[in-house]
Structure 1
């Protein structure tokens, strides 16, 4: 058995989104779907593979994909009812948006837009179950909520065709504009909900987000919906507990989300350390280095150094999830995102991506908590 790489010093990261310029050009595939692949049973990625890794395209797990990115958390985190008019200026929404803008790192105006988009679609297509966190995930992936990207396509990256089809007759807005977060959110919601789609989770959410992206995007579509899913899950979690926003676990998660699409590199510590990408424990170590928490370098040493999460307790955002045999060797580690998902550098021939963290028959052994 090939041993895993020796610990290496990892350069201190200056920002969680480092490496974005190369990410869109990664030719290595992301698995189309969120079920755990054979690497969890076949030795994981702490040792190099001598054979080409088959690219799997498994059927998405209907009870996990979308998940917290589908059902709304708006009424839980803000005093908003479905029958309220989605007009800009509703005081409870303003208070809610102002409270969460800092913790979520989303401008309050964009948050208002996402919430109003959800409320409008509740009235127009209640069976769609559009959530503001899905719109926020799209806003993050497309333009960093209007702070970047193609300004002519607005904060939600709507194409001219999408805007023409879905951007007319928006409640409460006399002259809708693609650059207006409220108008763009309603148009984006209509595009996502088209054809009777149910975004409450499963294939409906996964396929709708993929089709939202331009068809010509090709391989970038998979990266896009992974970014949407990851950010939507983070926003959902933080909206219910914004006090966690500055904690190391959230900072580490933000960093890990920023690496989606980078290639798996055995022994890799990431672009800031001179590698094109990461292996599993290189990713988790770099994520917590960025948050100011030092971890050992390998999956096995991380497992043995961290306080274990009780077996009866579900992992929390930022926990590390481990695979292998505690009596011999832990061969793989991922960073738990929430809703049964982890951020993961799977194996050679694949990119950093989101997977379900535990399925029947895998060799999951438990979680460890680097920090609250």
Structure 2
């Protein structure tokens, strides 16, 4: 059996699916749900010390209202606007009110549906209503799937200085991922060198016209002298797996599908909530939001871990 036929028989990670499922997953990919963000970042010691536990849980609960939005951005806005509700009056000179400092007229555009635990009717004074409305405002202005986060924050407050301040605070609220070193760094460098290469079903590299998702990740680790299997499911099974909620590091592989035994896509994490993948026919190798908060995200592995055979 040829290598291509063997891959067909076992199912290439991101392409061989039953037709109804394939159609559904392609549609999901177009909505940005198949690609992996460090949006589920663990809170840093600074975040735990600075954010009241109730507000921290609320920011984390509300962030998925906007796919691809990190809870750290909501928390940073809450910090700038009212110190997480600690401001004594929470009324600005412009008439903005509540913990997220909404003008009442602006709040009305984003106050529905009423979130679990929100007030009826919703009010910008209520933390639950306000944080969910903030997530929706950001989503409507560029935060969805990380398309243009700076623009989204600018729409919250029309100031580049404000945007820089929010992003700096958000960065400090997340546990910093360790930098890529050794084989992981070489795998990331190889993947970045392939940006713009066409997606080719079953492709293992430029000699075949391009890559598919697992062909790219296997080639990246081959360049780093780490051997991993060919297809996405086999790469997921190969491990070593990271515990749920672990801080991702550059070089980690991110896996997507309908379940742990139905992995259909793999991407290479590059740090700062970004990942490189070969997404689908008609596309090219690209780098974009990791989207680890997607319902299809099944977990991550670290092929270059010291006990995994990396060197």
Q: Is this a same-fold pair by TM over 0.5?
A: no
Q: What is the TM-score normalised by the length of structure 2?
A: 0.44
Normalising by structure 1, we get a TM-score of 0.37
